[in-house]
Amino acid sequence: MLSELDARTDLTAPERPFDPQQHALFVSGQRCYLAQHPHHRFTSPIDNHETLVNTLETELAKCPSEDAVVFGILPFCKSEQAQFLVSDHVQTLDKSHFTAYLASQNKLEGTRFPELDDVHHRQSQAHYEQAIVRAKTLFERDELEKIVLGKQVDLYFDDALPKGQVLTNLLHQSSSGFPFSFPTESGTTLLGVSPELLLKKSHRAIFSNPLAGSAKRTSDSAMDVQRQRTLMNSKKDRFEHAVVLVEMSQVLEPWCHQLHIPSVPSLLSTATMWHLSTEVEGQLHTPATHVLALANRLHPTPALCGKPTQHAYPWIKVLEGESRHFFSGIVGWCDKHGNGEWVVVIRSGEINGRHARLFAGAGIVHASNPTAEWLETEAKLSTMLNALHATTAYRQFTQESLLETA
């Protein structure tokens, strides 16, 4: 169990060099969980909660170690397959130690960080803003209260991206949040720093920290404080946040004999954004409840999909024009006792060779301004752009694109 491993964080370096192409990483607080001893991989459908949990338990049982842990990633779309990696044990390191080790490993490899060569918006600004206009007609017909619309951006560099360096940059810039790295079966690596904990379970205790309602941070301290106040007082953002909490409560209450959801949100900050945040705590009726039995029921929440979820869900692919695949899915781990921790796949990118695909989204309600929502998605790309050393070059490419279409 990882709860037992948590006490053994005296090691300062991994047992072997960390390879993002083969190994998995999940960071929670100041602890890094490394899966460097893969036992086997498997996939599973996620459209049936019981089948998913049964598959996980069966696959974990194939590994004789009681310390076996499965790392995995669930896609946004319930009709697609989740991917899992079983490790016979997990190494737990202090975050600062692992970050320093990884930086040293990168220095020894001496790889030049490539330059951004080209940018392709898979959804242009015009496409994205028109999708919001179309969504508002659904609100006017009372078909939806909220929908989350995302965009994907392809970045091409002049050489292969050093995944270890990108991961190091993510760890350096994230004093909070949940950094992760997962090697997919197609050979890509999914990297990111999620600010949002979907669900953590330890025995009977569960914890969730949904985020909805956002504002970009600024280096001007006075203006940053003003943006905090504006966000807390925004009727649009408060409504967007409340929608998420109502649905989470409906999903979790039948499983809990105690559930506490504060009536007023707080503010959570990342390096680049402010978010409305609520810490949800509960006690389960039974500790035998599997973390993914609940996480898969919560996923996707209105914070990543919309409300009503079942009605917003099919409209997302129509309005965005393509599948999100693992973007706005969930990534995390679970052990043989059904404990685990799962976060949403945002502030992330999928890297393969010289190509990186990034994703960002925004919650759309009746009061949304299309251009403001586009700018919010641009701000949310900053986490990955900074890690790719591409922020300035991306802005230049984007500005040139706007001038060409003006």
Q: Which residues are catalytic?
A: 146, 196
Question: Which residue shows structure tokens 């301004």?
Answer: 369
Compute the distance between CA of residue 248 and CA of residue 187 in angstroms, rounded to an integer. 34
Question: Is residue 180 within 8 Å of 32, Cβ to Cβ?
Answer: no
Q: For 3-40, give the DSSP string.
A: HHHTT-----S-SS---TTT-EEEEETTEEEEE-SEEE
Strands (E), 195-288: 197-202, 205-209, 211-216, 256-260, 266-269, 273-277, 280-284
Rg (alpha carbons) of the chain, rounded to whole number? 20
Compute the distance between CA of residue 142 and CA of residue 93 in angstroms, rounded to an integer. 50
What sign does the dihedral 387-389-394-396 (CA atoms) show?
positive
Q: For 265-294, give the DSSP string.
A: -EEEE-SSEEEEE--EEEEES-TTS-HHHH
Question: Is residue 4 within 8 Å of 91, Cβ to Cβ?
Answer: no
Torsion angle defined by CA atoms of residues 95, 98, 99 and 105, in that order, rounded to the nearest 10 degrees: -170
CA triple 282-286-290, angle to 5 deg: 85
